[in-house]
Amino acid sequence: MIVALIIACEVGFWVLLALALAVRYLLNKRRASVVLLLCEPVLELVLFVVTAIDLKNGAEPSWEHGVAALYIGFTVGYGHYLIRWLDGHAAHRLAGGPKPQGPPKYGLARARYEGRLWTRTVVAAGVALALLQLAVWYVGADGNVDSLRSFQWIALRIVGIHGLIALTYTIWPKKAPEPEKAPAPEKVSR
C-alpha cells in the first residue's frame, strides 16, 4: 500500500505542477497557480501520515517505509528547486520569457553550483534521517527496525557519494576551452 501511495504522490506532484504552470501561463491566473503549488506539500503530509498510521497499526517496518522517508526528504530538499527550474522553462516556452540560463560549465562557478546541489542533498538526507529515526523510536525496541536503519545508511551514502562528486569540481575544475585564434592575414608579395 505504501508503494502505491508513493507512486500516487509522485504522479500527483507532476500533475499538480503541470496544472499550476498551465493555469499560470496559459490562463494568466497567477493566484490560482500559487494555490495549486501550495497543494504540493499536502501530498507529502498525506504520505507521512499514512506511513505513521501503517506503523501504528502494527505493520512490520520494511523497505517501503524507508523509501517513503527518502521520497519525502527528496521533495523537501529538491522540490522548490525543481519547481523554480520548470517555472523558468514554462515562462520561456509558454509566455515568451527569457531562455533560462543553464548551470555554469567551468571553473569555480561550476564548483559552487555543485556545492549548492550537494547542500540540497544534505537537506534531503537530513529530513529522511530524521523521519527514519522517528520511525525507529516509534516502533521501539520490541520491533525489527533493521530495514529503517539500512535506509539511514543509504541516505548517508548518498550524501557521501554526492559530496565526493561535488568535491571533484573544486579539486579538478573543468577549464573553459580557449577561443580559437583567427589565422594571420597572408602577406602579399610584389
Burial 26-55 (b: 16+ CB within 10 A, else e): eeeeeeebeebbeebeebbeebeebbbebb
Does the pLDDT value for residue 92 go beyond 80? yes
Question: If you average pLDDT over residues 46-75, what whole number do you get?
Answer: 87
pLDDT at position 53? 84
Residue of 12, 32, 13, 35 lying closest to 24 (CA atoms): 32
Counted domains in the chain:
1
Q: By the 8 A CB rule, do 34 and 17 touch?
A: no
Determine, yes or no, domain membership for 186: no
pLDDT at position 124? 97
- Please tell me whether residue 13 adopts helix, strand or coil conformation: helix
Cell 548551470, residue located: 103
Determine, yes or no, domain membership for 66: yes
What is the rounded distance in angstroms from the CA atom of residue 151 to the CA atom of residue 66? 5
What is the rounded distance in angstroms from the CA atom of residue 175 to the CA atom of residue 111? 12
C-alpha pair distances (Å), 98 with each of 19, 80, 84, 94, 156:
21, 20, 14, 11, 38
Determine, yes or no, domain membership for 64: yes
pLDDT at position 23? 93
Determine, yes or no, domain membership for 176: no
Determine, yes or no, domain membership for 190: no
Question: If you average pLDDT over residues 51-58, what whole number do you get?
Answer: 83
Q: By the 8 A CB rule, do 66 and 147 touch?
A: yes
**What is the model's pTM?**
0.84
Note the pLDDT tens digit of each residue in 1-30.
788 888 998 899 999 999 999 999 999 999
> Which domain does 50 fall in, by range?
2-171
Does the pLDDT value for residue 165 go beyond 80? yes
What is the rounded distance in angstroms from the CA atom of residue 88 to the CA atom of residue 75? 19
Determine, yes or no, domain membership for 93: yes
Determine, yes or no, domain membership for 164: yes
At 182, the pLDDT band (50, 70, 90 cuts) reads: low
Distance of CA 145 to the CA centre of its chain: 26
What is the rounded distance in angstroms from the CA atom of residue 174 to the CA atom of residue 185? 33
Determine, yes or no, domain membership for 89: yes
